[in-house]
Structure 1
């Protein structure tokens, strides 16, 4: 199937999930997430979940890592919708966030961290395939950003759904995930 076909199917599937079931699926994913080896992770690029799109609750995963890894530097993306570029902005307990006109919650101000300094990225996604290629929201922000990161950066997706066999219209600029966490499995690509 194509990205567009998969995007349509999995957006609808995610929104159709009962909110109580999504809470349970988030908890099951957190259990899988806790089985991962976080040695060598000192900086994280994560994102604020869009509840209206049924995204996994990344706050659970961020909180777990914050407690597991004292001193972890946590960043959030700040996007430029005109250039389709994003940067990682360092946050702390005093960070103020705002939701932009596209419904994305971002830090208002902070220090920009170079992509080469990021050790792990939680990558938004709808679904991925058996080789780690993912379907996102179709603007390519993360693929462009990940191309600037070190080759050993951990690229982790969180999905309520098991991978599909193959995305038929992958292109040369698509950056595959390293891992995908689902409620039942940790997939390594």
Structure 2
């Protein structure tokens, strides 16, 4: 299927999820991430803040775990491009014009090596190709970070369909975490 068709299909599938389903599935995804990757104190994780009206995975569950275990947390903020802002338990947030909760600070951390980059998506196929909202911010961000940073998509749905229109500049994920499994597309040395 084409990206536009898959984007429409998976936006619709997400809309059918209740608030309780979003929370329960998000907990399962978080549990799978933690048990598979076993993040430890001092590691650096770049993770998105969910857009609740789009039923995105509740990454606040992950963030609470990271803070509790002294894992450094960075979140995206769009200022012409996607920058990475380090957050703390007392960080102040505001809602952007796109309805995204972002840190008040515009200070780019300058960090380019993350242990994990937990990435939003609408769909991911069996080769790690992802479909987001179509703005290209994450592909540009992936270009700017260390190639050692693990790019991890999280999604409610598994990779059941092929994306037919992959572009040359699309950067695939290394892993996909769903409520039922962790899939590896990683081709580097472990």
- Say whether the fold is shared (TM-score over 0.5): yes
Q: Which structure 1 residue ranges, 4+ long, deviate > 3 Å from structure 2?
A: 38-41
Could you tell me how far 1:9 is from its partner in structure 2? 0.3
For 1:105 and 1:164, locate their aligned partners in 2 and report how far apart those are by CA, in whole Å.
31
Aligned to 2:49: 48
For 2:154 and 2:49, locate their aligned partners in 1 and report how far apart those are by CA, in whole Å.
13
Unaligned runs of 5+ in 2: 186-190
Question: Secondary structure of the equivalent of 2:37?
Answer: coil
Aligned to 2:149: 153
TM-score by length of 2: 0.90
For 2:178 and 2:106, locate their aligned partners in 1 and report how far apart those are by CA, in whole Å.
32
Please identify, of 23-32 and 12-21, the stretch whose mean Cα deviation from structure 2 is larger: 23-32
1:65-104 equivalence runs, <5 A: 65-68=66-69, 70=70, 72-80=71-79, 83=80, 85-104=81-100
Could you tell me how far 1:110 is from its partner in structure 2? 5.8
Could you tell me how far 1:31 is from its partner in structure 2? 2.3
Aligned: 1:28 with 2:28: yes
- Relative distance call for 1:39 and 1:86 in structure 2 (3 A) is same
For 1:43 and 1:148, locate their aligned partners in 2 and report how far apart those are by CA, in whole Å.
16
Aligned to 1:19: 19
For 2:99 and 2:159, locate their aligned partners in 1 and report how far apart those are by CA, in whole Å.
27
User: Are the counterparts in 1 of residues 66 and 72 from structure 2 also a CA contact under 8 Å?
Assistant: no
Number of corresponding residues: 184
1:129-140 equivalence runs, <5 A: 129-140=125-136
User: Are the counterparts in 2 of residues 90 and 110 from structure 1 also a CA contact under 8 Å?
Assistant: no
Aligned to 2:64: 63
Root mean square deviation, CA, Å: 1.7
User: Are the counterparts in 2 of residues 157 and 179 from structure 1 also a CA contact under 8 Å?
Assistant: yes
